[in-house]
């Protein structure tokens, strides 16, 4: 799939993280990105536009990412459609994410390489693939950043900046 034509919906309430993920997506070559600051805004956008993938914050005020994902999946079952959803969370909530219908999740702060890997996996995913994955409960992928704890303190900031795509 052509990255410049890939439509991505980023659902994130924190402006700093919106900026960071938008910048990372741009570095990866994705140009068609829309942002929703909460689950309700995401549902509104989904009524007007089809996206190739959704990046969904899990913890948001109002309609959180878990409830929003559940509503998206109910609507998709009725319409016979499917959109891959990648959860983003600072907490390892894999069971809740997958029960809600997310395909995988990234730990925050979202790093460039795991984000790229997740998008590559999800952009090739079909509805049949999703249903198969759901039927194999407990076998969902979680993309976690590599540890940087073994780096010297002075190198940690530079390495983190590199992985976030900010160099």
Closest CA to 144 of 116, 108, 95: 108
Contact 37, 12 (CB under 8 A): yes
**pLDDT band at 3, cuts 50/70/90?**
confident
The model's pLDDT over 35-90, given as tens digits with 9 standing for 90+, comes to: 999 999 999 999 999 999 999 999 999 899 999 999 999 999 999 889 999 999 88
The pLDDT value given to residue 60 = 92
| pLDDT of 95 | 81
How high is the mean pLDDT of the chain?
82
Q: What is the pLDDT of residues 79-119, one digit of tens each?
A: 988 999 999 988 766 788 889 999 988 988 899 999 999 99
Biggest CA–CA distance in the chain, Å, is 53
Q: What per-residue confidence (pLDDT) applies to 148?
A: 38
Give the length of the chain. 167
Q: The tokens 């073994």 sit on which residue?
A: 150
Kindly tell me if the per-residue pLDDT of 166 is higher than 90. Answer: no
Name residue, tokens 């909530």. 93
Tokens of 130: 């999703």
Domain ranges of the chain: 3-164
SS (H, E, C) 41-69: HHHHHHHHCCCCEEEEECCCCCCCHHHHH
pLDDT, position 23: 95
**Is domain 3-164 annotated with CATH 3.40.50.2300?**
yes
CA dihedral 166, 36, 101, 119 (to 10 degrees): -30
Give me the residues paired with residue 107 across strands: 89
Token pair in block for residue 160: 């983190």
Contact 11, 68 (CB under 8 A): yes
Which tens digits make up the pLDDT trace of 133-154?
Answer: 444 434 444 444 444 344 444 5
Residue 46, pLDDT score: 97
145 vs 31, which has greater pLDDT?
Answer: 31
């Amino acid at each position: 799939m052509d990255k410049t034509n890939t439509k991505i919906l980023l659902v994130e309430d924190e402006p700093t993280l919106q900026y960071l993920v938008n910048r990372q997506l741009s570095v990866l070559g994705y140009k068609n990105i829309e942002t929703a600051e909460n689950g309700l805004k995401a549902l509104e956008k989904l009524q007007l536009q089809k996206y190739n993938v959704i990046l969904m914050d899990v913890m948001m005020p109002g309609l959180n990412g878990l409830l929003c994902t559940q509503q998206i999946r109910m609507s998709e079952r009725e319409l016979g459609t499917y959109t891959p959803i990648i959860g983003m969370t600072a907490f390892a909530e894999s069971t809740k994410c997958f029960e809600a219908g997310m395909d995988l999740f990234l730990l925050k702060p979202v790093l460039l390489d795991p984000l790229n890997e997740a998008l590559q996996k999800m952009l090739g995913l079909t509805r049949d693939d999703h249903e198969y994955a759901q039927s194999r409960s407990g076998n969902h992928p979680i993309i976690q950043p590599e540890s940087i704890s073994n780096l010297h303190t002075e190198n940690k900031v530079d390495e983190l900046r590199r992985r976030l795509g900010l160099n």
